Structure 1
Amino acid sequence: MARPRSISDERLLTATGAVISRAGSGFTLAQVAEEAGVAVGSVAQRFGSKKGLLQALSKAGREQAITRVRDAAGAAAGPREALRDALVTVYAGLGDAAEAANSLGQLAADLADSDLRSLLGEHYAALESELRSLVILAVDTGWRGPSPEIAARTLLATVNGAALDWSIRPRGALSDRLAEDVDSIVGSWYA
């Protein structure tokens, strides 16, 4: 009879995210195991390899990001605020600039691997779809902006670029920077 799992995937994936924030793409399964308080064999047995762990992290991260976006939009005062708040929450998990840089360093490593790059594509497509729905809700009689598809793509690219820039040249809080950048674009799309 198989022994029941006492350590959840969520615990291991949370530990992975914390380790990546501190160590970047050079992290090891041993570091993840230490962070989670388990044996290295537990991590390796569950995910097979570092790549398997990163694939699981990517899939779980996509679901978590969509949930955060929906929650932020649902709590907003109006459609424009919902769009801004959803975009700001995309990078809500980044702490300081060093953690952001480490996470973006892992992103670069993911881009070099075709399987992980494909998962990233799915992640960004799902975010873009959510944002497109929010843009549609924000369109009113004064809208002079692009189509919802182009608007969503533009806004997602803006927060992605702003997060990268902020990790290199941090000034103020990342959430303030993202809100300011999004507001400047969205505001220009209204008469």
Structure 2
Amino acid sequence: MVRPRHITDERLLTAAGRVVSRLGPSFTLADVAAEAQVAVGTLAQRFGSKHGLLVAMTRAAVDNVRGQMRGSVSDAGGADAVVHVLVAAYAPLDDAATAANNLAQLAADLADDELRGLMAEFYAAMEAEVAAVIRLAAGVLPGAPPAPVAARILTAVADGTAIHWSARPEGGLCDRMRADLATVLAGWRAPEAQHEPRRRAI
């Protein structure tokens, strides 16, 4: 008897990610099974339901975001590293349909208590990694707020850019995001004195 090939969670979750990018929240377990070339029963046995699959996908994203962002830091330095890690994180969305489908799934996830909680963990992990890069670049960003605040602002800018670009995909997402993040960082590069209120001449 031929021994069945081992099917890893990574294979199934990767297939699910491709399906979400293509179909958005309307996807079914059958769609994922076809993409992964497995039986629907395999997915049902492993994850229980579509909701269970989404939970597993989000948990995996939380686990992966740290390694992915740390791995991209070595490719750039200083303030450029801050832009680089965020652009690299959003690069898979640099296609209008893919971005729209993933953002539609995100909107659906936010309506679910468990998935919303996991998304909070995801953003906390992302912001922690961005904050670490900002601390390393502190010498060239004297006007930046405290690292956790700066990380929250930059992550929000990146998210907003992705949403805006998915509706108006002019140029590439990565190029747009680099420009938007660089604009924020340009203000933080200025000496702190430039951010102080000017005194009226006596």
TM-score normalised by the shorter chain: which range applies?
over 0.9
What is the distance in 2 between the residues matched to 1:190 and 1:141?
6
Q: Post-superposition shift, 1:22?
A: 0.9
Q: Residue 12 of structure 1 contacts residue 36 of structure 1 at CA under 8 Å; is this kept in 2?
A: yes
Q: Post-superposition shift, 1:42?
A: 0.2
Q: Which structure is larger by alpha-carbon Rg, 1 or 2?
A: 2
Q: Residue 24 of structure 2 contacts residue 105 of structure 2 at CA under 8 Å; is this kept in 1?
A: yes
Q: Residue 141 of structure 2 contacts residue 185 of structure 2 at CA under 8 Å; is this kept in 1?
A: no
Q: 1:27 is matched by which residue type in structure 2?
A: F
What is the distance in 1 between the residues matched to 2:88 and 2:141?
26
**2:108 aligns to what?**
109
What is the distance in 2 between the residues matched to 1:87 and 1:102?
20
Q: 2:139 is matched by which residue type in structure 1?
A: D
RMSD: 1.4
What is the distance in 2 between the residues matched to 1:103 and 1:182?
21
Q: Post-superposition shift, 1:69?
A: 1.1
Q: Post-superposition shift, 1:62?
A: 2.0
Q: Post-superposition shift, 1:89?
A: 1.3
Q: 2:29 is matched by which residue type in structure 1?
A: L
Unaligned stretches of 5+ residues in structure 1: none
What is the distance in 1 between the residues matched to 2:58 and 2:82?
23
What is the distance in 1 between the residues matched to 2:71 and 2:80?
13
**1:150 aligns to what?**
149
Q: Post-superposition shift, 1:109?
A: 0.5
Query: Percent of aligned pairs with the same residue?
Result: 50
Q: 2:74 is matched by which residue type in structure 1?
A: G
What is the distance in 2 between the residues matched to 1:13 and 1:60?
8
Q: 1:27 to 1:142 in 2, by over 3 A?
A: closer
Q: 78-87 or 41-50, which moves further after superposition?
A: 78-87
**1:15-164 residue pairs with structure 2 within 5 A?**
15-76=15-76, 78-140=77-139, 143-164=142-163
- Normalising by the residue count of structure 2, what TM-score does the alignment of the two structures yield? 0.89
**1:4-19 residue pairs with structure 2 within 5 A?**
6-19=6-19
Q: Post-superposition shift, 1:66?
A: 2.0
Q: Residue 135 of structure 1 contacts residue 152 of structure 1 at CA under 8 Å; is this kept in 2?
A: yes
- Normalising by the residue count of structure 1, what TM-score does the alignment of the two structures yield? 0.94
Q: 1:100 to 1:144 in 2, by over 3 A?
A: same
Q: Residue 73 of structure 1 contacts residue 81 of structure 1 at CA under 8 Å; is this kept in 2?
A: no
Q: Post-superposition shift, 1:140?
A: 1.2
For each residue in 1:21-62, what CA deviation from the matched residue of structure 2 results, as whole angstroms up to 9, or x when unmatched?
111101100000000000000001000111110011001112
For the pair 1:187 / 2:175, whether they are aligned, the reply is: no
Q: 1:33 to 1:189 in 2, by over 3 A?
A: same
